[in-house]
Structure 1
Amino acid sequence: MKFRLALLLILIVSIAPAPRSWAAGDRNALVIGNAKYPDAEAPLKEPINDAKDIAAELKRDGFDVETGENMTGDAMRRALERLYARVKPGSVALIFFSGFGVQSARQSYLIPVDAQIWTEPDVRRDGFSLETILGEINSRGAGVKIALIDASRRNPFERRFRSFSAGLAPVIAPNGTLVMYSAALSSVVSDTGGAHSLFVSELLKEIRAPDLMAEETLNRTRVGVTRASRSEQVPWISSSLAEDFSFIPGARPPASTQIAVANPPPRPDPVATPRNDPPPPAVVNIPPPPPPVKVEVPPAVVTAPPVKGEGSTTVANLADDPTIKSLTSKLIDNPDDASALYRRGQVYASKGAYLLAVNDFTESIRLNPKDVEAYNNRCWARTVIGDLQSALKDCNEALRLRPNFVDALDSRGLVNLKSGQTKNAIADFDAALKINPRLTSSLYGRGLAKQRNGSISEGELDISNAKAMDPNIVKEFAGYGVR
């Protein structure tokens, strides 16, 4: 009897499913490091080194890797097509991207170095949707799809259009996908200034650990980044993997997952055990759970004080925003950090806290009276809350400091539109569109102004063209109080 039980256990273990072993050619990766963006004040220091080291690690792990540095839109498109062509049914496809990413219409876009982004529709024109990339890979039959995205940086494009959302958006990915962002959704982090980003440093450390499944590798990376940043940077992970996969070939899941049936308990001895006693419980050998990870959380930072007219609920909700917490922490250390004030004002405005935004832009201007961007943003924020006279002064000052500043012309057009000065609004929107014919907000605003001025058909044409370029433009203007 004992022999038959032992034989049964051997058979069970032998037929238990083992993790699939992908042969050479079944692991394909595209690794991109974009650092030299002409619109940025200086090249990013981390993406090139990060891409090189990630590519080297993936090659050691059996991936067929193509690496690209400072890729233009055409170069990224061709590289992606080559990746799609290499995908075989049931294979593994991985993309790593380090550079600038922008979210638009609830999707995340990877930005090539030659992108010309002045309005939100330009993001969708020049950027590469992560959802589209994963969908294309999936359509080729890839069994495992992995995206590692280190693009949660403050980018140079967001200040050019008002309805931006910082950081990256959640991805709706097909089954069998593992996605990791270097930071939480809708949050940004700064370059460390070192050879590698914190995210890649921790990822390289964990990816080399033996006998880890990919999900565990990324979870440990997330914990490492969270600890090292004192919870200021918390990566985001989404997984729908349906099978075990490890970055290191040959790694196996824990033994407890390989045995389908535990050893049954021995039958009780009728002599040694009273008849009415229940048999001893079966002993199932389950490995103990890992100890809880203690994440150090920094003391709560002081948020901006409530402002008259701004609900305390709004302020309380913003207190937990990771970007605002990080910027507020910087301002506690250095109250005269004009860049942090300007950035926090942008975030406040993007979340509808316009009075808080006006306060930060005002402080930024106090520290730098020639901050034309802050004047323009304060003009827009004041316009939204109806402080139109002060808004007009801000826009005029921005245009005095920088004549033909397209964003300020667009903002002043909105001021005049809300003030009922339709002819002035049309003139401002006309001037902005001469500089940038794809400026959707000016096109839509001009359409409204023309209709109010009696040119119904011309206004309808502008409005129709603007809606075709950006279907969200009507909702955006409604948020400004303009319908």
Structure 2
Amino acid sequence: MKFRLALLLILIVSVAPVAQSWAADGRFALVIGNAKYPDAEAPLKEPINDAKDIAEELKRNGFDVETGENLNGDAMRRALERLYARIKPGSVALIFFSGFGVQSARQSYLIPIDAQIWTEPDVRRDGVSLETILGEISGRGAGVKIALIDASRRNPFERRFRSFSAGLAPVIAPNGTLVMYSAALSSVVSDTGGAHSLFVSELLKEIRVPDLMAEETLNRTRVGVTRASRSEQVPWISSSLAEDFSFIPGARPQPPTQVAIATPPPRPDPPPAPPAVANIAPPPPPPPPPKIELPPAAATVPAVKDEATTAVASLADDPTIKSLTGKLIDNPDDASALYRRGQVYASKGAYQLAVNDFTESIRLNPKDVEAYNNRCWVRTVIGDLQAALKDCNEALRLRPNFVDALDSRGLVNLKNGQTKNAIADFDAALKINPRLTSSLYGRGLAKQRNGSISEGELDIANAKAMDPNIVKEFADYGVR
């Protein structure tokens, strides 16, 4: 039923002991590659190879490297504690993470493979905060702090939240810190399916260039990724370095190469116009940008009409929607952009616009089970219950025992007065995830309506103890 955060930070760390110390000048690195997440449909193909190659390159450059693969939460925290313990005043400390990352409360979290994430508080409980890592490294006296995070992936957790927040958040880092994400803030990219990610391929290429300072190395990496992806992927960099630092020891600062990119490179200019010839009409002006108008259906939903009207009125200026709409103007068949924009619309109360985007996403990929589930949920909120039930049934046909679709269909049946069916769906969802607050609260309401007052009260009380906002959430869906 929920829109789950997406999207994604990655550190690549090895638990195995380091056979040789390379830290003559106090360079320490933790490299983590997490690929085998049980919640994902298949292991990620890139993080392990990326972690190994990054680790080898850092070792050649004098770093004392610990590398970890497929680390659970305890293993990640122990590896970080070992890194903290090695740091001395003035050391260089580097973190590389490849895997899934999630942002919550404007912070980015690196996700261990055993994280049990069903609600937003679970992110903060099971994830590892990047800001906390950098703060701890700084507190141990490191002079240069570097974080290279390849975690901006569409992840299996993003649709478990009703509030939408894809990708990673800006990091508030201490002085002397250089941070790079593989993609722009609040955006996600898909794995290439190859042995290495585009981000790591470009990063390794630039790290090997002699006589480059670290900031220039990362700027050149950003240029390479942006160009290779045709501006579909633009890495994000934040720097507060107060001293020169190079990945290759002994490098001397050189005049900066005239390569810089803060935004995707502009499209090439058109060829020069031919000499003026009489009676040649000037080219027509470019079409105005598309307008986002309030869909009639959103304005007629009593439970959400005020919120939806206000939200939709501000959509034209929303930077995420602007970016996604721009992608769809260039490529109307970009299913990923349609799906993501649908999530944004739904999170902002523009429900009919969300339905439209999910419908187009399903047209492009008739087996997109997530789009079916999310369209089911949105249609339930706006009261289109018959169509919602068809969507949930199709999601469950494509993926039997899909907990999100069971939760969504339970809400459909609850709103439709089918209390026994609602109880059955919520029961099935809770067998899979006993901590799914929405199913617990929904089952409590359904039990009360079915005459089991005391049992319903117990479910409702337990759900409210887990999430005090659950009552308002259901009220927003038109269920009280």
Match of 1:165 in 2: 165
Asked if 2 retains the 8 angstrom alpha-carbon contact of 1:306 and 1:315, the reply is no
Are 1:13 and 1:258, in contact at CA under 8 Å, matched by a contact in 2?
A: no
Asked if the contact 1:76/1:112 (under 8 Å) is kept, the reply is yes
Determine which of 258, 272, 279 is the counterpart of 2:273. 279
| Counterparts of 1:478 and 1:263, CA distance in 2 | 42
| Comparing 289-298 and 441-450, the one that deviates more | 289-298
**How far 1:149 moved relative to its partner?**
0.2
Shift of 1:38: 3.9
Distance 1:194 1:8, change over 3 A: closer
Cα deviation code 1:315-359 (max 9, x no counterpart): 897789898788778878987776765555345434544222212
Structure 1, unaligned stretches of length 5 or more? Answer: 270-277
Contact 1:97 1:151 (8 Å CA) reproduced = yes
Looking at structure 1, the residues matched to 313 and 205 of structure 2 have their Cα atoms a distance apart, in angstroms, of 37
Aligned to 1:185: 185
Q: Deviation at 1:22?
A: 12
Q: CA 1:88–1:452 in 2, change beyond 3 Å: closer, same or farther?
A: farther
Deviation at 1:182, TM superposition (A): 0.7
- CA deviation vs aligned residue, 1:283-340 (integer Å, no higher than 9, x gap): 9999999999999999999999999999999789778989878877887898777676
1:15 aligned counterpart, secondary structure? coil
TM-score, structure 1 length as denominator?
Answer: 0.70
Q: Judge conservation of contact 2:73–2:112 (CA < 8 Å) in 1.
A: yes
Tell which deviates more after alignment, 94-103 or 253-262: 253-262
User: Mean alpha-carbon deviation: is it higher for 124-133 or for 292-301?
Assistant: 292-301
Pair 1:391–1:241, CA change in 2 (3 A): same
Q: What displacement does 1:279 show?
A: 50
| Cα distance, 1:114 vs structure 2 | 3.6
Give the conservation status (yes or no) of the 8 Å contact 1:148–1:180.
Answer: yes
Q: What is the CA-CA distance between 1:110 and the residue it aligns to?
A: 1.6
Superposition RMSD in Å: 15.2
Unaligned runs of 5+ in 2: none
- Contact 1:20 / 1:244 at 8 angstroms: preserved in 2? no
2:332 is aligned to 335
Quickly say closer, same or farther: Cα 1:47–1:8, change in 2 above 3 A: closer
Deviation at 1:154, TM superposition (A): 1.3
**Per-residue deviation at 1:249?**
2.7
Q: CA deviation at 1:29?
A: 0.5
Structure 2 distance, partners of 1:112, 1:9, is 10
Pairwise CA distance, 1:171:
2.0
Q: Give the 3-state SS of the residue equivalent to 2:3 in structure 1.
A: helix
CA distance in 2, matches of 1:255, 1:174: 27
Secondary structure, in 3 states, of the residue corresponding to 2:196?
coil
User: Is the Cα–Cα contact under 8 Å of residues 19 and 244 in structure 1 kept in the other structure?
Assistant: no
Superimposed CA distance per residue, residues 436-470 of structure 1 (whole angstroms, 9 cap, x where no aligned partner): 11112223445666788999997776566546645
Deviates more, 1:314-323 or 1:410-419: 314-323
Residues in 1 aligned to 2:5 and 2:454: alpha-carbon distance in whole angstroms: 86
CA deviations over 1:227-261 (Å, ceiling 9, x no partner)? 33222211112223344433233344569999999
Residues 62 and 249, structure 1, Cα contact 8 Å, conserved in 2: yes
Number of residue pairs matched by the alignment: 475
Does the CA-based 8 Å contact 2:216-2:256 persist in structure 1? Answer: no
Q: Does the CA contact (< 8 Å) of 1:165 and 1:350 recur in 2? A: no
Partner residue of 1:274?
none
Task: Show CA shifts across 1:260-291 (max 9, x none).
Answer: 9999999999xxxxxxxx99999999999999
SS at match of 1:408: helix
Of 254-263 and 55-64, the range deviating more from structure 2: 254-263
- Is 1:20–1:245's contact at 8 Å kept on the other side of the alignment? no
Change (3 A) 1:414 1:111: same
The offset of 1:372, in angstroms, is 4.5
Contact 2:8 2:110 in 1 (8 A): no
CA distance in 2, matches of 1:14, 1:71: 8
CA contact (8 A) 2:5 2:102 kept: no
Distance 1:9 1:250 in 2: 31
Query: Which protein has greater RCO, CA pairs closer than 8 Å, 6+ apart?
Result: 2
User: How far has the Cα of 1:81 moved from its partner?
Assistant: 1.9
Larger Rg: 1
Q: 1:25 to 1:414 in 2, by over 3 A?
A: farther
Structure 1 Cα separation of the partners of residues 166 and 114 of structure 2: 21
Name which of structure 1's ranges 108-117 and 469-478 shifts more when overlaid on structure 2: 469-478
SS of the residue aligned with 2:210? Answer: coil
